[in-house]
Amino acid sequence: MKLVSWNVNGLRACLKKGFMEHFARIDADVFCLQETKMEQGQAELDLSGYHEFWNSADKKGYSGTAIFTRTEPINVTYGMGVDEHDREGRIITAEFEEFYLVCVYVPNSQRELARLDYRMTWEDAFRSYVGELDEAKPVLICGDLNVAHQEIDIKNAKSNRRNAGFTDEERAKMTDLLDSGFTDFFRHYNPDVTDAYTWWSYMGSARERNVGWRIDYFVGSARLTERVKDTFILPEVMGSDHCPVGIVIE
């Protein structure tokens, strides 16, 4: 099964930049999106052969997630069951026979870390949520986790130390998630690979110079690791300030 995740930074905008062509060429069995910034039906998509599930924010044109899957899930839920955290369309959980798939768009801590305290609360609730799922069957988490976990995951570690997405607090929460029984599959299989990024600022020709961050992930229950046969990043796919990431799992 080939699974791909992409923060499209506004699906309607991405559709004008070749999204459907990329979608067809990548040919994933499951395609997860973050930051859709729309509701189902607000744009025309040719998703023949796929079941589609959307979770949109209460606030129009903000946040949002979607899952397009060839295999129909056993069950689909939205959010994590905590009203405080479930108004921004950030989580879709699709239950398949052998695992749960959680498509997630983690809140950004914002400029001057205005939302860092909320982010810490959200992280604890999310870790508890996926931990409970993991007790029933393995969990595969994909999406924009809005953190570069290690210095190897960011081009300029020293100058970004206190910026949103690379604070000690956010990185520690990612460590907590991994220590609770989950694996960052790309880094597990590519421990020493540098310059592997998934997001680039629109400023200063960052993408052309590959001055980026790896903040988009596939993270899963450790017991799934041996079933992961490939992990990949597709930096050549344009249309967003993020690029798609993916895995192949048997």
Scanning the structure block, which residue is given the tokens 């460590």? 175
Active site residue 105: yes
Task: State how beta strands 139-144 and 100-105 pair.
Answer: parallel
Report how far residue 85's alpha carbon sits from residue 55's, in angstroms, rounded to the nearest whole number: 13
Report how far residue 88's alpha carbon sits from residue 170's, in angstroms, rounded to the nearest whole number: 20
Report how far residue 208's alpha carbon sits from residue 211's, in angstroms, rounded to the nearest whole number: 8
Task: State how beta strands 91-95 and 245-249 pair.
Answer: unpaired
Report how far residue 11's alpha carbon sits from residue 8's, in angstroms, rounded to the nearest whole number: 6
Active site residue 62: no
Could you say which of 144, 153, 184, 216 is catalytic?
A: 144
Could you say which of 100, 105, 129, 197 is catalytic?
A: 105
Closest CA to 217 of 147, 131, 170: 147
| Residues assigned a catalytic role | 105, 144
